C-alpha cells in the first residue's frame, strides 16, 4: 500500500475498502473495550505517588507554625506557594493555591468577571455580548465554560508555534467586547505545540480595546516533558509586567497529572495586585483551602526540584506510549496521504487530522468496535469542526498492550473511512 489513496482508481479503492471492512468486522466481533477519550494518567503513573498516602503520619504543622488541620490560610501554605512559584519562575505573592481542580479556578474566575467585573470594574455581563477568542483545535472544557456563560466563541487558527497572532492582535485591538482568550501555551491540548518566544512576547504586548481583557493561560502541561531537556516557554507574567500590562495574564497550573489526578493541588498565578482582588472574593466563598493536602504535597515533593525529578518518572512511563503511537501511525498510514498527525515532545495528546469530512465517521466506527475516542468536533467551539477532520487521541491511560490494540482499530477505521470517502466522491 505504498500508493497514495488519492492516486488510486476505483478498483484499487474498492479493494482497500473491502479489506478494511473485513478487518473492521473482525475487530467488532472481539468485544473490545478500549478507551482513548480523555487525558487521564495511567495506574502506573498514579502509583508513583502512593507514598503520599502515608507521608504525613502525625505531621500537620507548616514551617511557619500553621496548623493545617484547622481553618484559614486562604492563599495556601507557604511551602506549596514556594514550590509553585519556583516552577513558574515567579514570586510566592503572585500565587494562590487552589483545591484539586484548576478548571474550577478558571470557571470561578470567568463567573466572577461576568457578575462582578474585573478588579471592581463593570461586570462583563452588563457590557453586552461577551466574546472570547478560542485558538483551535483547543480544549473542550474551556469551551464548555464559555458556553455555560453564553460567551460567544471566536475560533482562531493555530500555527506550529502558537495561535495566529496577526488575527489575535487584529481582533483584540478592534473589539472591546472580546474579553478573553484561552491558551494552553506548552504542549497545547490537543496539538502538542509549544508557544514560541515571539508568540509569548506578542501576547504580552497586546493592545486590547477592552481594558478588562484577560489572557487565560492554562499551563496545564508546564512540566510534562517527555524529553530530559525540558522545553521552556517565556514567562508571560514578567513580560506582561514589562509591557505595562501587569494585570492581563491569569496563569493556571495543576498537579493533577503530577500526583493524583483527582486529589492533587492546583494554582492560579497573576500580578500581586490581581491576587489581592481575587482573595477578596475567595474570603466570601470559603474559610480556606484543604491545607492538609497542600502539606501532603509539600512534604512529598519537598521542593521544585523534587517535582521535576518526579516528572522524569512520568516521562519514562509515557515515552513508550508516544513512540508506539508515532510508529504505528507512520507504519499504517504514513504512505497513504490520508492523514496528518503530531509527534509531540510532551503533554497528553496526539493531534490527528483525517481527510476532510471523515473525523465523525472514524470516531463512530471506532466506537462501534469498542474503542472510545474524544468525540469528533470536541476540540472546536460548539463542538463544530467546520472541516470535520480533527481527532484528539488521548493516549496516556491504556496500558501499552491495550493502546496497541486500540491503535490498530483506529488505523483500520481511518483507512476504511478514507477509502469510502474517495469512493463516494468518484461516483
The residue from 18, 25, 30, 115 that contacts a copy of itself (CB under 8 A) is 115
Backbone φ, ψ for residue 180 (5° rounding): -160, 165
Taking CB under 8 A as the rule, does residue 382 contact a copy of itself? no
Alpha carbons 311 and 309: distance in angstroms, whole number: 5
Taking CB under 8 A as the rule, does residue 188 contact a copy of itself? no
CB of 290 to a copy of itself, least distance (A): 4
Alpha carbons 95 and 287: distance in angstroms, whole number: 18
CB of 54 to a copy of itself, least distance (A): 5
Compute how many residues bind a copy of itself; rule: CB under 8 A: 54
Name the residue nearer to a copy of itself (CB basis): 43 or 229.
Answer: 43
Name the residue nearer to a copy of itself (CB basis): 141 or 408.
Answer: 141
Name the residue nearer to a copy of itself (CB basis): 148 or 386.
Answer: 148
CB of 33 to a copy of itself, least distance (A): 15
The residue from 18, 25, 67, 89 that contacts a copy of itself (CB under 8 A) is 67
Taking CB under 8 A as the rule, does residue 358 contact a copy of itself? no
The residue from 4, 22, 30, 104 that contacts a copy of itself (CB under 8 A) is 104
**Residue 37 half-sphere exposure, CB side, CA atoms within 13 Å?**
10
Q: Quick one: CA torsion of 313, 190, 101, 121, rounded to 10 degrees? A: 140
The residue from 9, 31, 43, 229 that contacts a copy of itself (CB under 8 A) is 43
Taking CB under 8 A as the rule, does residue 73 contact a copy of itself? yes
Taking CB under 8 A as the rule, does residue 317 contact a copy of itself? no
Taking CB under 8 A as the rule, does residue 60 contact a copy of itself? yes
Alpha carbons 307 and 314: distance in angstroms, whole number: 11
Taking CB under 8 A as the rule, does residue 328 contact a copy of itself? no
The residue from 16, 37, 68, 222 that contacts a copy of itself (CB under 8 A) is 68
Q: Which three cell numbers stand for residue 259?
A: 500526583
Taking CB under 8 A as the rule, does residue 78 contact a copy of itself? no
The residue from 58, 120, 128, 160 that contacts a copy of itself (CB under 8 A) is 58
Name the residue nearer to a copy of itself (CB basis): 262 or 399.
Answer: 262
Alpha carbons 344 and 339: distance in angstroms, whole number: 16
Taking CB under 8 A as the rule, does residue 61 contact a copy of itself? no
Q: Which residues contact 331 (CB under 8 A, 6 or more apart)?
A: none
Taking CB under 8 A as the rule, does residue 288 contact a copy of itself? yes
CA angle 389, 391, 394 (to 5 degrees): 175
The residue from 286, 331, 387, 426 that contacts a copy of itself (CB under 8 A) is 286
CB of 291 to a copy of itself, least distance (A): 5
Q: Which residues contact 85 (CB under 8 A, 6 or more apart)?
A: 91, 92, 94, 95, 269
First to last CA, the chain: 22
Taking CB under 8 A as the rule, does residue 69 contact a copy of itself? yes
Taking CB under 8 A as the rule, does residue 121 contact a copy of itself? no
Q: Are strands 152-159 and 162-163 parallel, antiparallel or unpaired?
A: antiparallel
Taking CB under 8 A as the rule, does residue 289 contact a copy of itself? yes
Alpha carbons 362 and 356: distance in angstroms, whole number: 11
Taking CB under 8 A as the rule, does residue 389 contact a copy of itself? no
CB of 308 to a copy of itself, least distance (A): 21
Q: Quote the strand ranges of 367-422, DSSP E.
A: 371-373, 390-394
Q: Which three cell numbers stand for residue 119?
A: 478588579
b/e per residue, 352-368, with b = 16+ CB within 10 A? bbbbeebbbbbbebbee
Q: Which residues contact 137 (CB under 8 A, 6 or more apart)?
A: 158, 190, 191, 351, 379, 380, 385, 390, 392
The residue from 1, 32, 46, 308 that contacts a copy of itself (CB under 8 A) is 46
Taking CB under 8 A as the rule, does residue 99 contact a copy of itself? yes
Backbone φ, ψ for residue 395 (5° rounding): -110, 5
Alpha carbons 55 and 292: distance in angstroms, whole number: 11
Q: Which residues would be at the binding site for a copy of itself (CB under 8 A)?
A: 38, 40-41, 43, 46, 49-50, 53-54, 56-60, 67-73, 99-101, 103-104, 107-108, 111, 114-116, 125, 141, 144-145, 148-149, 256, 260-263, 281, 284-293
Amino acid at each position: 500500500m505504498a500508493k497514495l489513496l488519492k492516486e488510486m482508481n476505483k478498483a484499487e479503492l474498492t479493494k482497500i475498502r473491502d479489506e478494511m471492512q473485513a478487518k473492521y468486522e473482525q475487530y467488532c466481533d472481539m468485544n473490545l473495550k478500549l478507551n482513548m477519550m480523555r487525558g487521564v494518567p495511567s495506574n502506573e503513573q498514579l502509583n508513583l505517588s502512593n507514598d503520599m498516602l502515608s507521608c504525613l503520619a502525625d505531621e500537620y504543622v507548616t514551617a511557619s507554625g500553621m496548623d493545617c488541620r484547622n481553618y484559614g490560610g486562604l492563599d495556601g501554605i507557604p511551602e506549596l506557594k514556594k514550590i509553585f512559584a519556583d516552577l513558574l519562575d515567579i514570586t510566592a505573592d503572585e500565587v494562590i493555591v487552589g483545591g484539586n481542580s484548576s478548571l474550577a479556578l478558571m470557571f470561578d474566575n470567568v463567573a466572577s468577571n461576568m457578575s462582578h467585573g474585573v478588579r471592581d470594574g463593570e461586570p462583563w455581563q452588563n457590557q453586552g455580548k461577551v466574546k472570547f477568542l478560542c485558538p483551535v483545535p483547543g480544549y473542550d472544557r474551556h469551551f464548555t465554560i464559555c458556553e455555560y456563560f453564553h460567551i460567544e466563541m471566536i475560533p482562531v487558527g493555530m500555527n506550529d508555534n502558537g495561535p495566529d497572532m496577526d488575527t489575535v492582535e487584529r481582533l483584540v485591538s478592534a473589539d472591546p467586547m472580546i474579553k478573553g482568550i484561552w491558551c494552553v501555551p506548552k504542549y497545547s491540548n490537543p496539538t502538542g505545540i509549544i508557544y514560541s518566544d515571539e508568540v509569548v512576547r506578542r501576547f504580552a504586548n497586546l493592545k486590547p480595546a477592552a481594558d478588562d481583557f484577560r489572557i487565560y493561560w492554562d499551563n496545564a502541561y508546564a512540566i510534562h516533558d517527555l524529553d530530559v531537556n525540558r522545553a521552556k516557554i517565556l514567562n508571560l507574567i514578567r513580560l506582561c509586567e514589562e509591557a505595562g500590562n501587569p494585570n492581563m495574564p491569569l496563569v493556571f497550573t495543576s498537579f493533577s497529572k503530577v500526583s493524583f489526578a483527582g486529589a492533587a493541588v492546583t494554582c492560579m498565578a497573576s500580578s500581586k495586585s490581581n491576587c489581592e482582588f481575587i482573595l477578596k472574593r475567595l474570603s466570601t466563598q470559603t474559610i480556606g483551602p484543604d491545607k492538609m493536602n497542600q502539606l501532603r504535597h509539600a512534604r512529598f515533593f519537598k521542593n521544585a526540584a523534587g517535582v521535576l525529578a518526579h516528572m522524569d518518572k512520568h516521562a519514562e512511563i509515557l515515552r513508550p506510549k508516544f513512540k508506539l503511537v508515532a510508529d504505528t501511525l507512520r507504519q499504517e498510514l504514513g504512505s497513504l496521504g490520508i492523514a496528518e498527525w503530531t509527534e509531540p515532545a510532551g503533554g497528553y495528546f496526539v493531534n490527528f487530522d483525517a481527510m476532510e469530512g471523515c473525523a465523525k465517521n472514524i470516531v463512530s466506527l471506532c466506537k462501534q468496535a469498542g474503542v472510545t475516542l474524544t468525540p469528533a468536533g470536541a476540540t472546536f467551539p460548539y463542538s463544530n469542526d467546520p472541516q470535520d477532520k480533527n481527532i484528539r487521541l488521548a493516549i496516556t491511560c491504556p496500558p501499552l498492550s491495550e493502546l496497541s490494540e486500540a491503535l490498530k482499530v483506529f488505523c483500520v477505521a481511518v483507512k476504511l473511512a478514507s477509502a469510502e470517502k474517495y469512493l463516494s466522491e468518484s461516483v
